[in-house]
Amino acid sequence: MRYFLASFCFIALVIGAGEPAGAQTAQSSIEANNADFVDKFAAKDAKGLGQHYTEDAVAFPPNENRVAGRESVQKMWQTWIDAGLTDLTLKAAQVEESGNLAYEEGTYSIKIPGKDGKTSEEIGKYIVVWKKGDDGEWRLHRDIWNTNPPK
């Protein structure tokens, strides 16, 4: 019985030592980043949105040219904020991590004002490649999304 108890305690120690106390997984960090991103968008804070991207980030918005660099991505978001886009939601469906890179697959929705004054909701999906910086923070490195077909 003592041998069993000692073995159990040893195994529990080894399993528990796999991740330091307080360390976050890529998934939990990315989900926290997404929540902050949505908050920054709601606050119309394009500079704050830009800080979620790496310096050499690239965004691939639907029906637009490739947008390269944090500053250009920030300007892209500012343009959309100024155009009246609102109510962004992000929902991660899957996050996989390998070293200092991770990818996220998810869905989004956003409200877009029309020329007729009516607001429509765009629903779509996205893939993001995240890169972990020297500071330990995960940032968007490659960002691509597109809309679902109309119902």
| Residues 106-138 pLDDT 10s | 999 999 998 888 999 999 999 999 999 999 999
> What pTM was computed for the model?
0.82
What's residue 24's pLDDT?
A: 65
Q: Are the beta carbons of 28 and 19 closer than 8 angstroms? A: no
Residues 141 and 57 sit within 8 Å (Cβ to Cβ): yes
Amino acid at site 133: G
Q: Is the pLDDT of residue 6 over 70?
A: no
**What pLDDT digit, counting tens, does each position of 40-84 carry?**
999 999 999 999 999 999 999 999 999 999 999 999 999 999 999
The b-or-e profile of 104-118 (16+ CB within 10 A means b, else e) is bebebebeeeeeeee
CA-CA distance, 88 to 86, in Å (whole number)? 6
Question: What's residue 4's pLDDT?
Answer: 38
Token reading at 26: 């890529």
